[in-house]
Amino acid sequence: MYKHLKLYITKKAYVLAPETGSNLTVHRDTGALELTETIPSASEQESTLNVYGLLGFIQLFAGDYMMTITKREQIGTIQGKAIYRVGGFQILPLAQDTSRLSEEQKSQEQTFVNLLESHLKNNTFYFSYDYDLTQSIQRQAQFSSEKLAEPLYKRADERFFWNRFVATKLIDAAFDTSSFILPVMQGFVELDQCKINGKNFAWGLITRRSRHRPGTRYFSRGIDAQGHVSNFVETEQVVLYDGESTSQQVVGEVELSFVQTRGSIPVYWAQVINLKYTPRLWIGETRKSLAAARAHFDEQIRIYGPQILVNLINKKGYELPMGQAYARTVEQLNDPRLYYTHFDFHSECSKMRWHRIQLLVDQLKDKLNEQGYTYYDTADKSLKKTQTSVVRSNCMDCLDRTNVVQSTLARYVLTQQLRELGILEANQKVEDQEEFMNSYRNVWADNADGVSCVYSGTGALKTDFTRTGNRTKAGALKDLQNSITRYVKNNFLDGSRQDSFDLFLGKYHLEHDAHGPFASSKPLRVRVVPYILLFALFMLFLNLIRPNYSGFKSYTSYFLLLLFWVSVLISGVRFAIKHGDEFVQWPRLVKLPPTDDISETGFTEKGNMSPPEITKEELPAL
């Protein structure tokens, strides 16, 4: 892999020149790729740019756009191989003449570019030139010598190869471009140098988000026909140790890892946002849903082994039907490789009794001890231990409760790992090491925020417990703030965020939509209501703060004026709630949800999720 490229920009081409090796020339008029040995002369160069990686290309109305990494931040090393976070990027258009485009196409072109920019700015991306971040330590250790000899992008796990779609132009080139194809992972990576009992080791997390069924909280739920679930995340806890070495920088002569997964409940379901704080829940349990669940678990078992399914949603109220649907699905699959347990997190840990999470750990101890963890000796390249199964956790969003439980299970396993390495004594536990636990809790809390921001739009809830080991009132207030922010973003901003996922990951193809998707607008009555509400709110406050502004002399007239503006506000809010689905910002590139996925939930043929009445016979789970 080329670790540093010089980009020469001319009127005719973009030339990416490595320090050694052939240059990649991108012809701006045709978009064709070519390997060349020369760089443009100084007189031809319009500008130059330092580039640390090529994300790929995407085609819009005017032609291709090239996306490059222009800044990188090293965050650690594994096996002496540097791991980077993307610190900056640039999107470069190949076309210079856009006169052939209509004004509408030019406007929509800019909207597409804005979506790409927001996607790259608002997500965190990681890469390495010589370490495969998309594969766990165990999977890499099990690769054959032939597999290891392949270029990095061919070895990458396609689920976590985030820029796989935009790299298609490079992958499909008629000549070898493997040195320019850089697999980039979306998720979270943090590695800390630690010391316990005078022994140095490195510890950290690598969280990988799947590019299948991607998106935002309410526009991506459940499962699809291929068995892909929303918000599927693999988190690998790694320990690197160099034995009795006194070096402060741990290379990783011995590597230990423990992998967990999370993902949406694998049935067809959705929550229809319509401005209400708690959206209406829709569940479609059919033979098709069961087949999708089977496809999902077949893939999970093939990759990870038997599944320990930990369901953390409530056993009462709003979430009850989801728990019932999940349990029925597992029961109907009747697969001995699936072990299902339902731990009502909110009930068990109510009134800040967070120590009761230990009940779940105690319940799963035998399963955790049986599944083990990875122990890889890099010196003689021997896999001394393997992890034979995986814990798959979920709550409704697979964010907050899930992360708390995952960090607790990982802590239990970490104690076993550090004891085996001799870092901990036989009678010691990780939680007794105060200095290390400060690092441990904060990394897991940062991981929670990293996963949550992409899916829900805010940091995770309950991170005060993850960071400190205690639930606090300040943490509860922070959760309230995040919940309100989530409500606003999920209803009014997530349509565009979902579009950015669908565009970058190739779920939407412009060639099938020659006129673009942004032409339609909301009805006038919907567009004016927010302005009326803002004006009424302004006038109400103005008259409250400055009573003389109204000009009325009598208290009765002044009071009636206030009642008028209050009535306007109430009427506007009632109208918005009644027609809530028209005020929500829906995705415009890919219609959601597909009606053939949730056939029993009453979605309209247009896919606009307007909620009709449903009888008990039609939806017995509710």
Q: In the predicted model, what is the mean pLDDT of the chain?
A: 90
pLDDT over 70 at 620, yes or no = no
Q: Examine residue 512 and state whether it is found in any structural domain, yes or no.
A: no
Q: Examine residue 279 and state whether it is found in any structural domain, yes or no.
A: yes
Q: How much is the pLDDT for 601?
A: 38
Of 183, 198, 215, at which residue does a domain stop?
183
Is residue 242 a contact partner of residue 254, using CB atoms and an 8 Å limit? Answer: yes
Q: Which residues contact 521 (CB under 8 A, 6 or more apart)?
A: 527
Q: How much is the pLDDT for 512?
A: 59
**Residues 490-503: tens digit of each pLDDT:** 988 899 999 999 99
pLDDT over 80 at 618, yes or no = no
548 CB-side CA count, 13 A: 0
Domain count, the chain: 3
**Residues 369-385: tens digit of each pLDDT:** 999 999 999 989 999 99
Question: What confidence category does residue 606 fall into, taking pLDDT thresholds of 50, 70 and 90?
Answer: very low
| Same domain? 54 vs 73 | yes
**Choice between 363 and 580, residue whose per-residue pLDDT is larger:** 363
Enter the pTM of the model. Answer: 0.90
Q: Examine residue 123 and state whether it is found in any structural domain, yes or no.
A: yes
Averaged pLDDT, 142-160: 95
Q: In this structure, what are the phi and psi dihedrals at residue 195, rounded to the nearest 5 degrees?
A: -145, 130
| Same domain? 264 vs 378 | yes
The rounded Cα 621 to chain-centroid distance in angstroms is: 29
The rounded Cα 53 to chain-centroid distance in angstroms is: 22
Q: What is the dihedral of CA 192, 193, 194, 195, to 10 degrees?
A: 180
Averaged pLDDT, 424-443: 95
| Same domain? 479 vs 539 | no
Is residue 558 a contact partner of residue 605, using CB atoms and an 8 Å limit? Answer: no
Q: In this structure, what are the phi and psi dihedrals at residue 400, rounded to the nearest 5 degrees?
A: -85, -65
Q: Examine residue 516 and state whether it is found in any structural domain, yes or no.
A: no
- HEC readout, 431-460: HHCHHHHHHHHHHHHHHHHHHHHHHHCCCC
Q: How much is the pLDDT for 386?
A: 98
| Same domain? 333 vs 449 | yes
Q: How much is the pLDDT for 616?
A: 33
Q: How far apart are CA 108 and CA 112, in angstroms?
A: 6
Question: What confidence category does residue 221 fall into, taking pLDDT thresholds of 50, 70 and 90?
Answer: very high
Q: Examine residue 2 and state whether it is found in any structural domain, yes or no.
A: yes
pLDDT over 70 at 520, yes or no = no
Least confident range from 29-38, 82-91, 231-240, 601-610: namely 601-610
Angle at 128 between CA 122 and CA 132, to 5 degrees: 110
Question: What confidence category does residue 514 fall into, taking pLDDT thresholds of 50, 70 and 90?
Answer: low
pLDDT over 80 at 195, yes or no = yes
**Choice between 523 and 189, residue whose per-residue pLDDT is larger:** 189
Q: Examine residue 443 and state whether it is found in any structural domain, yes or no.
A: yes
Cβ neighbour number for residue 225 with a 10 Å cutoff:
14
Q: How far apart are CA 279 and CA 484, in angstroms?
A: 14
Q: How much is the pLDDT for 468?
A: 81
**Residues 289-323: tens digit of each pLDDT:** 999 999 999 999 999 999 999 999 999 999 999 99
Q: How much is the pLDDT for 515?
A: 63
Q: How far apart are CA 257 and CA 237, in angstroms?
A: 5
Averaged pLDDT, 440-453: 96
- Closest among 324, 305, 328, 304 to 315, alpha carbons compared: 324
Token digits for 460?
Answer: 């995770």
| Same domain? 462 vs 577 | no
What is the identity of the amino acid at 184?
A: V
What is the identity of the amino acid at 97?
A: D
Q: How much is the pLDDT for 355?
A: 87
| Same domain? 291 vs 160 | no
pLDDT over 70 at 598, yes or no = no
Q: How far apart are CA 274 and CA 584, in angstroms?
A: 6
Overall size of the chain counted in residues: 622
Q: How much is the pLDDT for 184?
A: 98
Q: How far apart are CA 184 and CA 160, in angstroms?
A: 8
| Same domain? 120 vs 211 | no
Residue-range definition of the domain harbouring residue 578: 524-587
Averaged pLDDT, 229-255: 89
Dihedral over Cα of 409, 413, 414, 419: its sign:
positive
Q: Examine residue 618 and state whether it is found in any structural domain, yes or no.
A: no
Averaged pLDDT, 390-397: 97
| Same domain? 48 vs 189 | no
Which segments within 469-510 are labelled E, that is strand? none
> How many helices and strands (H and E) does the chain possess?
17, 20
| Same domain? 177 vs 216 | no
Averaged pLDDT, 207-214: 96
Q: How far apart are CA 111 and CA 103, in angstroms?
A: 13
**Residues 317-337: tens digit of each pLDDT:** 999 999 999 999 999 999 999
Q: How much is the pLDDT for 519?
A: 61
Q: How much is the pLDDT for 174?
A: 94
Q: How much is the pLDDT for 513?
A: 66
| Same domain? 62 vs 153 | yes
| Same domain? 578 vs 453 | no
Q: Examine residue 606 and state whether it is found in any structural domain, yes or no.
A: no
pLDDT over 90 at 597, yes or no = no
| Same domain? 232 vs 302 | yes
pLDDT over 70 at 480, yes or no = yes
Q: How far apart are CA 185 and CA 170, in angstroms?
A: 17
Averaged pLDDT, 86-94: 97
Q: How much is the pLDDT for 600?
A: 42
Q: How far apart are CA 7 and CA 10, in angstroms?
A: 10
- Closest among 226, 131, 272 to 582, alpha carbons compared: 272
Cβ neighbour number for residue 365 with a 10 Å cutoff:
12
The rounded Cα 428 to chain-centroid distance in angstroms is: 36
Q: How much is the pLDDT for 612?
A: 32
Provide the β-strand partners of residue 282. Answer: 270
**Residues 135-144: tens digit of each pLDDT:** 999 999 999 9
